[in-house]
Amino acid sequence: MFRHLKTKSPSYGHLRLLVQALTFAAVLSTAPHAAAARMLRLVALGDSLTAGYGLPTGKAFPNRLEAALRAKGWDVKVINAGVSGDTAADALARYDWSVPQDADALIVELGGNDMLRGMKPEATKTTLAAILDKARAAHLPVLLAGMRAAPNLGSEYAGEFFAIYPALAKSYSASLYPFFLDGVAGDSKLDQPDGLHPNAQGVEIIVQKILPSVETLLKQAK
């Protein structure tokens, strides 16, 4: 009795439309994941504290920060744009070739050598502002790492110098990490013999302390 019943098969045109719809839906569902999977390029622009002065190969701050970020699931390349001895003005002078155009975010760790040379805090502030202007023009989210003055420079100088960083962060809507050497400065177990630069163990502590701020920065990356 069933031999006279006929089922209506979908036409070729209907099948083609169905395939196209499913393909389009798949593209929409995977596009955000594809964008998130792109490797981010984070530049650390700084002085010897970034460059890794006195440290074994692979133990500098950018290397260890990259390892820590990757361990937390970030697909990121941290570019070491640190030069030992650089003042803020030196870093500004080389900014255009130190920070590639395809960078996604920027850490600025500068001012320590300005302080050690007794430069006027206002001059350092002006130069750091020029660096932040360049980052703003490139639409780069910035994490500004602060520095403190040595005690022998006096409380007045120390206050003026330390105030540079929160003031700039506020003016430029940049993220602020108040003191790059937090938890390390002044600890002989974590410093190299010069008392200025962290040893490998000190770098690990710096990385762990700054890591949440860097993750927040990367979430702002384009």
Structure tokens at 115: 């302080």
The DSSP 8-state label assigned to residue 153 in this structure reads G
In terms of Cα–Cα distance, which of 41, 42, 44, 47 is closest to 198?
A: 47
State the amino acid at position 159 in one-letter form: G
Structure tokens at 180: 């790059």
**Nearest-angstrom CA–CA distance, 88 and 112:** 9
Q: What is the pLDDT of residues 186-198, one digit of tens each?
A: 999 999 999 999 9
Is 48 part of the annotated catalytic residue set? yes
Boundaries of every domain in the chain: 39-219
For domain 39-219, give the CATH number. Answer: 3.40.50.1110
Sheet holding 105-109, edge to edge: 76-82, 40-46, 105-109, 142-145, 175-177
Q: What is the pLDDT of residues 76-101, one digit of tens each?
A: 999 999 999 999 999 999 999 999 99
Q: What is the pLDDT of residues 150-165, one digit of tens each?
A: 999 999 999 999 999 9
Compute the average pLDDT of residues 105-122.
98
Structure tokens at 34: 């594809």
Beta carbons within 8 Å of 87's beta carbon, 6+ residues apart? 47, 110, 113, 114, 117, 119, 124, 127
Give the pLDDT band of residue 116 (cuts 50, 70, 90): very high
Q: What is the pLDDT of residues 39-76, one digit of tens each?
A: 999 999 999 999 999 999 999 999 999 999 999 999 99
Model pLDDT, residue 38: 81
**Nearest-angstrom CA–CA distance, 60 and 66:** 10
Is 197 part of the annotated catalytic residue set? yes
Catalytic member of 4, 139, 188, 194: 194
Give the pLDDT band of residue 222 (cuts 50, 70, 90): low
Model pLDDT, residue 37: 60
Catalytic member of 9, 47, 48, 191: 48
**Nearest-angstrom CA–CA distance, 17 and 14:** 5
Q: What is the pLDDT of residues 17-35, one digit of tens each?
A: 444 544 444 444 443 333 3
